[in-house]
Amino acid sequence: MCYSKTALNSQFFCGICTMSSASNSGILTMANTYPFPRAFHDFTICDIEEENFNNITCQSNDNVSHIPVMAEEVLSVLNPKENQIIVDMTFGSGGHTKEILRRCPLLKQLIALDRDPVAYQLSVDLSKQFRPGQILPFLGTFEDLPSLLSKEKIPANSIDGILIDAGVSSMQLDTAERGFSLSKDGLLDMRMDGLRNKDQPSAAMVINTLDEKNLCAVIKKYGEDKNAHKIARAIIEARAAFGKIESTKHLATIVASVFDSPFNKDMLGRPAHVATKTFQALRIFVNNELNQLSNGLHVAHHYLRPGGRCVVLTFHSLEDRIVKRHFHSIDLKAPKNMSLSYQQLQSTVKTLDNELLQSIVNKKWTPLQKKVITATHEEILKNPRSRSAKLRVATKERGSGEKE
């Protein structure tokens, strides 16, 4: 494997970048405005080792033990109806897709997208159990969706409902070789795309290559871990002493060395490993998850019909903040701790007259709920993953987007 350390570090923070990954299709050009570093899309990486999941076999749909999070609430706000077209932008193991089709067997079409080749294969398998064409499986990221839809001649303003269940799937977490999980020893990989994109570095490449300052920035920004400095130092020292850090267990042990105990308490007072936030940070960084989510919401808006519904489940505050800001038309770059009403007030004060008028005219979404929806106590007991879930739903403004 050869890739330039200096390139990785010097190009690490490119700040606000403009990206037009969807523009090949000529349909939609997205400005990637989320003010966080991008993953290493521009770095030269030659000769990626093909050691990982070429051999992972896809389990059949029936064997995948996955409980879709907040399925009741998701179905109730998505409200799929006969003859509609719904896009599940995060197919995963198909938990929500199956529930949508179970409750609405006369749905015209369900488009199932996932960037993970294993999930894609599951969607292909599932599609065979339904009427031909009723499930349309797509392999790609949110940013690939415009070109995939255009190949099928599906135009803007035509989709009735869109679901995004963000983040990592239980299937990805449970497969040790994917390197997402703290509790299962595996190679530190974490690429949701598998080996589809040869220029996407694995988590091991990131951990073994970034300098201390940038490692600290990743852990702080994406893990929101106040011990980021100490953790980054420990990683650099471990690299110097023992060489490359290749496995999930190895990284977890290094992070734990910074703390008095390897476990602290989570929101529910249950033990959580101290490396959880570092793992979250790496995963978000490797998969460019925040920019993907932000751009995914632009794509969703473009393809929904006016009045169509966008339903989003998120699992940590960084993601939820992005969704909230899209749905409430708040500047993505505004400071994070301002209350919503204060931000709206600020923007009103700053932008009286023309700009305010423009923002009203350009309002893109109408949130359907005032408050974020969370899982019930009963669901949290049955499915602990739902404890941090936040559900938001908005409709595309009528009159918005027809000229896009």
Looking at beta carbons only, is 96 or 220 nearer to ligand SAM?
A: 96
**Least separation, in Å, of the C-beta of 320 and ligand SAM?**
14
Looking at beta carbons only, is 150 or 257 nearer to ligand SAM?
A: 150
Contact status, residue 208 vs residue 132, Cβ threshold 8 Å: no
**Least separation, in Å, of the C-beta of 291 and ligand SAM?**
9
Looking at beta carbons only, is 165 or 225 nearer to ligand SAM?
A: 165
Report the interface residues with ligand SAM, using CB under 6 A.
66, 68, 90, 92-96, 113-116, 119, 141-142, 165, 167, 169, 192, 292, 296
The amino acid present at 388, given as its one-letter code, is S
Looking at beta carbons only, is 99 or 224 nearer to ligand SAM?
A: 99
Looking at beta carbons only, is 117 or 367 nearer to ligand SAM?
A: 117
Looking at beta carbons only, is 45 or 87 nearer to ligand SAM?
A: 87
**Least separation, in Å, of the C-beta of 358 and ligand SAM?**
30
Contact status, residue 218 vs residue 281, Cβ threshold 8 Å: yes
Looking at beta carbons only, is 68 or 308 nearer to ligand SAM?
A: 68
* Residue labelled with tokens 């839809």: 149
**Least separation, in Å, of the C-beta of 23 and ligand SAM?**
17
Angle CA 349–353–354, to nearest 5 = 120
**Least separation, in Å, of the C-beta of 183 and ligand SAM?**
18
How many contiguous H segments (helices) and E segments (strands) does the chain have? Answer: 16, 11
Q: Is the dihedral of CA 65, 66, 71, 72 positive or negative?
A: positive
The β-bridge partners of 265 are: 271
Residue 137 CB contacts under 8 Å (≥ 6 apart), including other chains? 91, 112, 120, 123, 124, 126, 127
Looking at beta carbons only, is 100 or 254 nearer to ligand SAM?
A: 100
First to last CA, the chain: 43
**Least separation, in Å, of the C-beta of 93 and ligand SAM?**
4
**Least separation, in Å, of the C-beta of 33 and ligand SAM?**
16
Residue 116 CB contacts under 8 Å (≥ 6 apart), including other chains? 92, 169, 172, 192, 193, 194
**Least separation, in Å, of the C-beta of 114 and ligand SAM?**
5
**Closest to 196 in 3D by CA, of 127, 118, 293:** 118
Q: What is the 3-state secondary structure (H, E, C) of 174-232?
A: HCHHHCCCCCCCCECCCCCCCCCCCCCCCHHHHHHHCCHHHHHHHHHHHHCCCCHHHHH
Looking at beta carbons only, is 217 or 297 nearer to ligand SAM?
A: 297
**Least separation, in Å, of the C-beta of 338 and ligand SAM?**
27
For 237-261, give the DSSP string.
HHHHHH----BHHHHHHHHHTTSSS
Contact status, residue 162 vs residue 326, Cβ threshold 8 Å: no
The β-bridge partners of 99 are: none
**Least separation, in Å, of the C-beta of 12 and ligand SAM?**
21
Looking at beta carbons only, is 296 or 401 nearer to ligand SAM?
A: 296
**Closest to 161 in 3D by CA, of 116, 108, 92, 93:** 108
